[in-house]
Amino acid sequence: MRKEALSKGTIYVLLSLGAILMLLPFVWMISTSLKAPNEVMAMPPVWIPSEWQFENYSSASEAAPFGTYFFNSIIVTVLTTIGELLTTILAAYAFSRINFHGKGVVFAVLLGTMMVPGEMLLIPNFVTVSNLGWIDSYEGLVIPWIASIFSIFLLRQYFFSVPQELSYAAKVDGCSDFKFLWYVMVPLAKPALITIALLKIIGSWNAFLWPLIVTNSQELRTLPVGLSAFTTEAGIKYELLMAASTMVILPMLLLFFVMQKYVISGVARSGLKG
Amino acid sequence: MKKVIAVLSLFLVLFLAACNNSSGANANGDSDANGPVEIEFWHAMSGPHEEAIKKFADDFNSAHEDITIKPVNQGSYDDLQQKIMAAAKAGNLPDMAQATTNVIPEYIDNKFITSLNDFIEDPEIGLSEDELNDYIEVFRDSSTWDDTYYSLPFSKSTRVLYYNQTLLEENGLEVPKTWDELQEVAKTVTKDGVVGMGFENSYEAEFQGILKQMGGTYMDEETGEPQFASKEGQEAMTFIKDMIDDGIARTAGEDEYMSNPFGRGDVAMYIGSSAGIPHVDGAMEDGIEWSTAPIPTLDGQAATTFAGNDVVIFNQSEEAEQKAAWEFMKYLTSPEVTSEWSMLSGYLPIRQSALDTEEYQTFLEENPAYKAGTEQFDAGFFIARVPGGDAVRNIVLEEMDYILQGMKSVEEGLTEAQDRAKAELQ
């Protein structure tokens, strides 16, 4: 009993240390966002600004049309997430439950594409999107990102864990593949789907290079592109950058707090069954 | 859940269909036959610099009914370069762009840049002999390849010596004019936690300057062969290293930019980009007087690097569009605009006549820190414009770090850097 309490104590100490370590960058970001320029790089570091510069937030939001950027980020994130969920569900079902000619080869080729680094695909993708006439449009921002091999793989493994008997039972009752997928598989795979969606939302919200490359007009740019407004040749305006970053990260933090349960259960459950 | 997804996917389809119509109309700057020519200008300027470019475009547009300039920020210089290469492959380059001079040879090799000679020599829309010579020589030189102009200078800067006036006065010292004097001054003021001299983390520019003053060559532009591990190169590096070893100089290190320790008063002098003047102004603590001076000479032998960005025109556009882009290029580099740009941004004016205007002279009197940059045009040279130059720079900086940390001797480090640079450029 005593021994158990002790080990629990140790665990909490370690967890607290870890939590503090994780929290530090956020604290530093918020503290910097409230500093005057000459305190940002001061030595020794200043943790609590001598005078709180709340106007950093207003000057940061005036530096670029962040309203438009917010709108675009939300549109792109929502559309790519829905798109990816749809393609992933259909593909994962086909690869796990339907027998068709060359299934193994197709799946191996798809997995093989995961080995190509994203940087190498940048120019070919740009050329393709440009031939389709999607430069500087929402299509260019959204459509290249509505399929993910990693998600298909993840969901396929999850689908495998659903007992085959369920589909036999459904077939006996005269249920089509599509109906079985929607009414039985999808509800069962909810934790995995939420995990996929969250990963997508975070990735899409943070994406920088592609939105920058594929758009030309301010009306179509997203938040991470907007953050580059504070980087100049002679230095970075950290206090403004951090103020803007705080505003940009806030929605993601809220999402995490609300969905934390699902993130963890998604990972845990799929791990147990797989 | 199913209904929600169905509704949302309907929304996705409708939305994409809707924006297809709206974006189709204004895609990529192609204009109607009757309307004004629309010119896209890609650049990497942000913040107040971007505002200034927008203003220049607006002014130009209202003066030219038949041309509309659309400036587009494309992130950092690297992002801009990456995007230009991608767009060149896809065949949808903008009409004009900002470009560092070391990437232009790549544009020439891939044949997507317009030679400006035809425009310049055109009796109607060209530049007269006097006008062309009004562009400052070092910039003209860095914009030509074998007598062909491929660019015009735009956002240019040089290295200047920043100094803490208050500190020098307290010690009864003059601003150093030669490296010997600089060493003396640095030695005298290094005390009470103050370090005399500072170098930016990118101090390979200073290495190049001293090397040139000693009569050496950093890189041969014709053959693309790095030559900095010569006897002169080793002397130049030893000079910098000795100052740092003696404790009278330091690099920016963790401070990232020298403007931070200089602003705190921790460093009495440093060499940095003239484009950093507005930034230094913001970083200074109250009560410190400061200004800039030309780069010290080696017993009268002056030499300092000029760097920065030019503007170029691409040949994937129609002739009328290229012509319109040329008009804007002339406007951006006109004496009025370059002097206004200089006063706003801290970049150097690129026309001699811009310097001579009363407005600019008044500006220099009120802002003496801007003077030093314009006083050393004659001593100016530019970094060899070799594709892959950035990679060489990173190699040199890395090996220099080994030298400063004592992990390699000056000779070993420079020779290794030169070998690696050669391999990189092959």
Interval B46-52 mean pLDDT: 84
For residue B26, being part of any structural domain is answered with no
The residues, any chain, with a CB within 8 Å of residue B185's CB and separated by 6 or more, are B168, B173, B174, B176, B196, B268, B269
Distance from C-alpha of B295 to C-alpha of B278, rounded to nearest angstrom = 19
For residue B3, being part of any structural domain is answered with no
Q: Is A133 on the interface with B (CB under 8 A)?
A: yes
A182 within some domain:
yes
The two beta strands, B67-73 and B37-43, are parallel
Confidence grade of residue B244 (pLDDT, cut at 50, 70, 90): very high
Shortest Cα distance from B240 to chain A (angstroms)? 23
pLDDT digits (tens, 9 = 90+) for B377-398: 989 998 888 878 888 989 999 9
Choose the final residue of a domain: B330, B347, B365.
B365
Q: List the single residue in B49, B72, B257 with the smallest CB-CB distance to A216.
A: B72
Q: Is B209 helix (H, G, I), strand (E, B) or coil?
A: helix
- Whether residue A157 lies inside any domain: the answer is yes
Backbone phi, psi, residue A213, to 5°: -70, -40
**How many domains in chain A?**
1
Which candidate from B46, B87, B278 shows the least CB-CB separation from A229?
Answer: B46
In a domain, A25, yes or no: no
Task: Look at residue B21 and tell me if it is in a domain.
Answer: no
Distance set, CA A7 to CA A2, A14, A19, B426 (Å): 9, 11, 18, 61
Query: Would residue A99 count as lying in a domain?
Result: yes
β-pairing verdict for B225-226 and B144-145: unpaired
Nearest beta carbon to residue B275 from set A78, A127, A233 = A233
Q: Using a cut of 0.90, tell me whether the model's pTM lies above it.
A: no
Task: Say which residues have a Cβ less than 8 Å from residue A231's Cβ, sequence separation at least 6.
Answer: A237, A241, B46, B76
With beta carbons less than 8 A apart as the criterion, state whether B271 and B161 touch. yes
pLDDT of residue B11: 53
What pLDDT was estimated at residue B22? Answer: 42
Residue A90 contacts B, CB cutoff 8 Å:
no
Q: Which of these, B273, B274, B312, lies nearest to B119 by C-alpha position?
A: B312
With respect to residue A183, please indicate whether it lies within any of the assigned structural domains: yes
- Is B53 contained in some domain? yes
Q: pLDDT tens digit string along B218-235?
A: 998 888 889 999 999 999
- Given B317, B345, B365, the domain boundary residue is B365
Q: Write out the H or E segment, with its range, that includes residue B226.
A: strand B225-226
Domain boundary among B324, B340, B365: B365
Chain-chain contact of B74 with A212 (C-beta, under 8 angstroms): yes
pLDDT at A253: 86
Q: Are B219 and B293 members of one domain?
A: yes
Tell me the pLDDT of chain B averaged across its residues.
Answer: 88
Question: Contact at 8 Å (CB) between A122 and A209?
Answer: yes
CATH code for position A86: 1.10.3720.10
Q: Are residues B116 and B141 in the same domain?
A: yes
Confidence of residue B27 (pLDDT cuts 50, 70, 90): very low
Chain B hits for A213, CB-CB cut-off 8 Å, are 79, 82-83, 86
Q: Same domain, yes or no, for B182 and B330?
A: no
Is the same domain home to B193 and B255? yes
User: How far is Cα B154 from Cα A84, in angstroms, rounded to an integer?
Assistant: 45
On whether residue B11 sits in a domain, the answer given is no
If one counts the domains in chain B, the total is 2
Q: Is residue A55 part of a domain?
A: no
Q: Are residues B393 and B246 in the same domain?
A: yes
ipTM here:
0.71
Q: What is the pLDDT along chain A (274 residues), one digit of tens a residue?
A: 555 666 888 899 999 999 999 999 999 999 999 988 777 777 678 888 888 889 889 888 887 888 899 999 999 999 999 999 999 999 999 999 888 999 999 999 999 998 988 888 888 899 999 999 999 999 999 999 999 999 999 999 989 988 888 888 888 888 888 889 998 899 989 888 988 998 899 899 989 889 988 998 888 999 988 887 787 666 678 888 999 999 988 888 888 888 877 766 655 555 443 3
Min Cα–Cα distance to chain A from B361, Å = 25
Residue A184 DSSP class: I
- Full domain range(s) for residue A223: 64-273
Instruction: Classify residue B18: in a domain, yes or no.
Output: no
Same domain, B134 and B178: no
Residue B376 structure tokens: 């050393």
- The neighbour count for residue B166, using CB atoms within 10 Å, is 13
Which among B304, B64, B100 is positioned nearest to B207, based on CA atoms?
A: B304
CB atoms within 10 A of CB B325: 27
First to last CA, chain A: 34
Minimum Cα–Cα distance from B74: chain A residue: A212
- B105 preceded by a cis bond (ω within 30 of 0): no
Is there a contact between A123 and B89 if contact means CB atoms under 8 Å apart? yes
Identify whether A185 is part of a domain: yes
Euclidean distance between CA atoms B277 and B136, whole angstroms = 21
CATH code: domain of residue B298? 3.40.190.10
Q: What residues make up the domain containing B139?
A: 32-156+308-365
3-state class (DSSP) for residue A117? coil
| A261, part of any domain | yes
Phi/psi of residue A242, nearest 5 degrees:
-70, -35
Using CB atoms within 10 Å of the CB of residue B217, give its burial: 0 to 12 exposed, 13 to 18 middle, 19+ buried: middle
Strand pairing of B304-313 and B96-100?
antiparallel
Regarding whether B383 and B360 lie in a shared domain, the answer is no
Report how many Cβ contacts below 8 Å link chain A to chain B: 123
Whether B65 and B122 map to the same domain: the answer is yes
Residue B32 pLDDT greater than 80, yes or no: no
Q: Is B264 within 8 Å of A43 when comparing Cβ atoms? A: yes
**Of A67-81, A224-238, B81-95, B118-132, minimum mean pLDDT range:** A224-238
Q: Are residues B353 and B295 in the same domain?
A: no
CB B419 within 8 A of CB B226: no
To the nearest whole percent, how much of chain B has pLDDT over 90? Answer: 65
Residues B151 and B209 in one domain: no
Q: A55, A121 in Cβ contact below 8 A?
A: no
Task: Provide the 3-class DSSP secondary structure of residue B218.
Answer: coil
Are both B265 and B323 inside the same structural domain?
no
Buried b / exposed e along A165-177 (16+ C-beta atoms within 10 A): eebeebeeeebee
pLDDT at position B254 is: 79
Identity (one letter) of the amino acid at A161?
S
Residue B23 lies in a domain: no
Does residue B106 share a domain with residue B141? yes
**A89 Cβ partners below 8 Å, 6+ apart?**
A155, A181, A185, A186, A189, A193
| A135 vs B: CB within 8 A | yes
Domain for residue B46, yes or no?
A: yes
